[in-house]
């Protein structure tokens, strides 16, 4: 996840003049943090993903007039989430984030078991990945990528950010 976000940060900083990047870390509770905290601090404990999504929504509402800002959100996860939070995740995504963002990327970090190009509906992967897959069927502005180890990060990053109409093949 850290390598993906470093690559994303470099890409955005080099490609665009006016970019505001908001860093959010979470385990059971989400918090906005500095770039240094984001890349260097360690979190442990259970995971409640909806706290990060809710905080993202609150930050968008308070700071970004959608008439003037394009909203892009990237999340990376091993997919752990309290089962009791999964419905909250879907609700926040459908009602608050996907309607206001131009693009949402979800990087799923999975163990090396399973088939690299397998359909995520039927293979090993996280519950979060599967939940986002079903959201993707309804929302064209969400993209899912799966990595098994560090060599997979750049190809997934490229897939996420290819210019419209270009194929990676």
What span, in angstroms and rounded, lies between the C-alpha atoms of 123 and 70? 34
What span, in angstroms and rounded, lies between the C-alpha atoms of 81 and 37? 22
For residues 107 and 148, the answer to whether their CB atoms sit within 8 Å is no
DSSP state of 99: T
pLDDT surpasses 70 at 125: no
Q: What is the mean pLDDT of the chain?
A: 86
Interval 144-153 mean pLDDT? 92
For residues 72 and 100, the answer to whether their CB atoms sit within 8 Å is no
Percent of the chain with pLDDT over 90: 60
38-42, 100-104, 147-151: least confident range = 38-42
pLDDT of residue 168: 58
For residues 38 and 32, the answer to whether their CB atoms sit within 8 Å is no
Residue 31: CB atoms within 10 A of its CB come to 14
pLDDT of residue 126: 65
């Amino acid at each position: 996840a850290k390598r993906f976000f470093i690559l994303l940060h470099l890409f955005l900083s080099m490609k665009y003049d006016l970019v505001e990047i908001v860093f959010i870390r979470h385990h059971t509770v989400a918090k906005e943090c500095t770039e240094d905290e984001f890349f260097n601090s360690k979190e442990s404990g259970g995971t409640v993903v909806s706290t990060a999504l809710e905080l993202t929504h609150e930050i968008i509402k308070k700071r970004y007039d959608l008439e003037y800002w394009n909203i892009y959100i990237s999340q990376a996860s091993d997919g752990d989430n309290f089962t009791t939070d999964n419905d909250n995740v879907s609700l926040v995504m459908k009602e608050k984030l996907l309607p206001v963002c131009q693009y949402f990327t979800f990087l799923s970090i999975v163990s090396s078991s399973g088939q690299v190009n397998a359909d995520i509906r039927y293979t090993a992967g996280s519950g979060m990945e599967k939940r986002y897959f079903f959201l993707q069927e309804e929302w064209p502005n969400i993209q899912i990528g799966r990595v098994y180890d560090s060599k997979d990060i750049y190809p997934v990053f490229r897939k996420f950010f290819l210019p419209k109409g270009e194929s990676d093949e």
